[in-house]
Chain A
Amino acid sequence: MTLNPESFLALATLLFGIGAVGVMSRRNIFVVYMSIELMLNAVNIVLATFSRLHPDMGGSVIALLIIGVIAAEAALFLAMIVQLYRKKRTVDSDAFTDLAQRRLS
């Protein structure tokens, strides 16, 4: 079995799709968070793949940077979820609609 670039891209697309559907359909904020991570990692895969296809390591470097950023983001995100939970005692994202358009003026 040869590893051709198309299979990497297909994997990335699949991961991104799973992530996008997760973000849109799941209500648990933790799951939403993990779906976002999936989408980010799909992007990382695309970056690494194209970096290998072209003789340029810039893409891989950026992918590594993104992994670092994700780590920092994870810390923030988890802290925010804890805060949200403290406010409403739930992790259901549909409970947080305070910025909605309530009524026509």
Chain B
Amino acid sequence: MTLQTTQLLGWILLLPFTGALVLGLLHLTFPRTRRLDTFYAALGVAGPVVAAALGLKVLYAVASGADVTFRQTLFTWLSVGDLKIGLTLSADALGAVMLFIVTFVGSVIHIYAVGYMRGEKSFGKFFAYFNFFLGSMLLLVLADNPIVMFIGWELVGLASYLLIGWYYEDPANVKAANKAFILNRIGDFGFISGLGLLFALVGEGGFSFADIAAHIGSVDPAMTALVGLLLFVGAMGKSAQIPLYVWLPDAMAGPTPVSALIHAATMVTAGVYMVARFSFLYESVPDVGLFIASIGAASALLAALFACYQSDIKKILAYSTMSQLGYMFIAVGLGGYSAGIFHLFTHAFFKALLFMGAGAVIIALHHEQNIFKMGGLKEKMGLVTATMLVATLAISGIPPFAGFFSKDAILAHAFASGHTFIWAVGVATAYLTAYYMFRLFFVVFVAPPREKAEPAPLDRTVTWPLVVLAVGSAVAGFFGLPEAYGGQNWFAGFLHLPDRALHLGSGEEFLLDMLNLLVASAGIYVAYRLFARSPREAHDAAAWQTMLRHTLYVDEIYEALFVRPLRGLSRLLDRVVDNRIIDGIIGLTVGGYRVASAGFALLQNGSVRWYALYFMAGLCGLSLYILQNIGGE
């Protein structure tokens, strides 16, 4: 029996969720035992791996047909009058590419997690959450209508909360998880407001993406712009852009595989995917697109600046993710949807690799995360060094590694679209990217060791995924080889998103690339001069450096601007409004009853004579009433 490709979608979705359910139930049944760990690992990895195989089949099927969309309705979820909202999955080119990224990179990270989490307690629970995270992201990616997408969107937020707060014994980690969840809630509020408005505007004609695309043209452009902005607020939260990015560095509190999963395969890419998915909407409101690109550019530059002054290996990578996401938003904001998704695609490989390499270093050095306490690891950890070098070259934009082509596509698009300032910010960020990534690389691997630490041996499940992703980081760029290099940009052609056409000659593009390469090389050279031989954790020379080290005190500013007033308001509501006013009103009625009952209680004086009097008075009253109202003719 062969399964239809359409039916595969349901299976792909079902696999991780079933895995999560089974693992969760098993863990709850046997919470203490260690003997099931191998079984947990096998089960936890099996779901994503099979899903990845099926995802590859779907991608192949989509690629071999021309402009096909696989659609599968699992069941009708809401049925109100003519409106039917089903749990419908679909995979067009964009969806299939995302499906491939999520399942493939997700599977590799799952395998890596087996080695990384070995010996941790609650092994089964970890994989239950992990599978749940992957399944949620798949629901988001495969959704055929925004409602189902929103369900996935929320589930991803929940899963990230569970995993960021994994080491829940430390209150700081719980706080980080709460921060991630709450900031995502703010974004989600924008997202669901946008969806509600969109539904009010075009909901009558059905609410799948195709239906919305068909009807969006008849909507007032101002309203479309508002919808676009509100949806982008959701993307700001989920994809960590200014001003809702502050959860991302704190999310490093989770185990490293979680960081890899959040940053590479799931979660943060959701915002970019969402904008690309709504490309038909954003295409009609270029001003909103420009706003998105500006936010992206600002986030890219700011995060790159922050990354230059961090000394925690995972925080550097966290800010670098935010910076790369900024690039993606530059692309999708300026109408280069394919370029944005292409960068997402390549970024998934090298960012997962960077995190996993960092995780390998961290466990080898017994949970040391400060890069200035590492050093000289290239002799002791050859494989990790080599793979990290590939990833670092890729993210810095050195050909022929993946990041070069995707970053080039974005910068070329920005240049061609005429927004030179955004382009210049992008180039500056490229310089900073090369600088801070090679700062990390030189300090950790090349510079002489600061402390004599013997790295612990690494598990094969930790090292082999690095190799797989290193190969991916090296070759993924060739899928989108631009025409300037004799390619056909197969990736963009395959996605057939409504890209804004750009007119850029091969020569110009070549020159731009040379500039990018020059800038990146300069960054590497500076990093080499400063950090390769005798790295020093730079002590703040100028005030602005102190500011950057403390990430411009944004957390403190948010604390003062939003958290404190909110807390004050809550306290006011609690102490005054609730305690005094509302409880006071209730207290008044209670007091009234008490006084009245005291009056009535006085009647009960214990003397039978008085009781007889009351009785008689009652009887007389009743008789009078009957005579007056009922018996009286």
Binding site for B on A (CB under 8 A): 20, 23-27, 32, 93-94, 96-101, 104
A78 to B598, CA, bound (A): 36
A38 to B133, CA, bound (A): 89
Whether B613 sits at the interface, judged by CB under 8 Å, is: yes
Binding site for A on B (CB under 8 A): 598, 601-602, 604-609, 612-613, 616
A98 to B608, CA, bound (A): 11
Q: How many A-B residue pairs have CB under 8 A?
A: 37
Q: Which B residues are in CB contact (< 8 Å) with A24?
A: 609, 612-613, 616
A98 to B606, CA, bound (A): 6
Decide if A25 touches B609 in the complex (CB within 8 Å). Answer: yes
Apart from A32-B609, A93-B609, what 16 extra A-B contacts exist at CB < 8 Å?
A: A23-B612, A24-B609, A24-B616, A25-B609, A26-B609, A32-B608, A93-B607, A93-B608, A96-B606, A96-B608, A97-B605, A99-B606, A100-B605, A100-B607, A101-B604, A104-B601
Chain B: CB-nearest residue to A20: B616
Q: Which B residues are in CB contact (< 8 Å) with A93?
A: 607-609
Decide if B606 touches A104 in the complex (CB within 8 Å). Answer: no
A-B contacts, 11 listed (Cβ < 8 Å): A23-B612, A24-B612, A24-B616, A27-B609, A32-B608, A100-B606, A100-B607, A101-B602, A101-B604, A104-B598, A104-B601
A36 to B601, CA, bound (A): 27
A97 to B602, CA, bound (A): 13
Chain B: CB-nearest residue to A27: B609
A27 to B607, CA, bound (A): 10
Q: Which B residues are in CB contact (< 8 Å) with A26?
A: 609
Provide the main secondary structure of the chain A interface: loop
Chain A nearest CB from B593 CB (Å) reads: 13
A97 to B605, CA, bound (A): 7
A25 to B612, CA, bound (A): 10
A94 to B598, CA, bound (A): 22
Decide if A97 touches B609 in the complex (CB within 8 Å). Answer: no
Chain B: CB-nearest residue to A35: B612
Chain B: CB-nearest residue to A98: B606
A13 to B159, CA, bound (A): 85
Chain B nearest CB from A19 CB (Å) reads: 10
Q: Which A residues are in CB contact (< 8 Å) with B606?
A: 96-101
Q: Which 7 A-B pairs have the closest CB atoms?
A: A100-B606, A97-B606, A101-B601, A101-B604, A23-B612, A104-B598, A24-B613
Q: Which B residues are in CB contact (< 8 Å) with A100?
A: 604-607
A98 to B604, CA, bound (A): 11
Chain B nearest CB from A33 CB (Å) reads: 11
A26 to B612, CA, bound (A): 12
Q: Which B residues are in CB contact (< 8 Å) with A99?
A: 604, 606
A93 to B613, CA, bound (A): 14
A99 to B606, CA, bound (A): 5
Q: Which B residues are in CB contact (< 8 Å) with A32?
A: 608-609
Chain A: CB-nearest residue to B602: A101
Q: Which A residues are in CB contact (< 8 Å) with B612?
A: 20, 23-24
Q: Which A residues are in CB contact (< 8 Å) with B609?
A: 23-27, 32, 93-94
Q: Which A residues are in CB contact (< 8 Å) with B604?
A: 99-101
Q: Which B residues are in CB contact (< 8 Å) with A94?
A: 607, 609
A104 to B187, CA, bound (A): 57
Chain B: CB-nearest residue to A23: B612
Chain A nearest CB from B515 CB (Å) reads: 88
Q: Which A residues are in CB contact (< 8 Å) with B608?
A: 32, 93, 96
Decide if A101 touches B605 in the complex (CB within 8 Å). Answer: yes
A21 to B548, CA, bound (A): 97
Q: Which B residues are in CB contact (< 8 Å) with A23?
A: 609, 612
A99 to B602, CA, bound (A): 12
A72 to B124, CA, bound (A): 82
Q: Which A residues are in CB contact (< 8 Å) with B598?
A: 104
A21 to B598, CA, bound (A): 28
Q: Which A residues are in CB contact (< 8 Å) with B605?
A: 97, 100-101
Chain B nearest CB from A92 CB (Å) reads: 10
Chain B: CB-nearest residue to A99: B606
Chain B: CB-nearest residue to A94: B607
Chain B nearest CB from A82 CB (Å) reads: 17
Q: Which A residues are in CB contact (< 8 Å) with B613?
A: 24
Q: Which B residues are in CB contact (< 8 Å) with A25?
A: 609
A101 to B604, CA, bound (A): 6
Q: Which B residues are in CB contact (< 8 Å) with A27?
A: 609
A20 to B618, CA, bound (A): 13
Chain A nearest CB from B621 CB (Å) reads: 15
A97 to B601, CA, bound (A): 14
Chain A nearest CB from B622 CB (Å) reads: 15
Chain B nearest CB from A41 CB (Å) reads: 17
Chain B: CB-nearest residue to A36: B612
A5 to B602, CA, bound (A): 44
Q: Choose among A20, A27, A94, A101 the residue with the greatest number of B CB atoms under 10 Å from its CB.
A: A101
Chain A: CB-nearest residue to B605: A100
A94 to B606, CA, bound (A): 8
A57 to B608, CA, bound (A): 36
Chain A: CB-nearest residue to B610: A24
A105 to B605, CA, bound (A): 15
Chain B nearest CB from A22 CB (Å) reads: 10
Chain B nearest CB from A46 CB (Å) reads: 15
Chain A: CB-nearest residue to B608: A93
Decide if B607 touches A97 in the complex (CB within 8 Å). Answer: yes
A23 to B617, CA, bound (A): 13
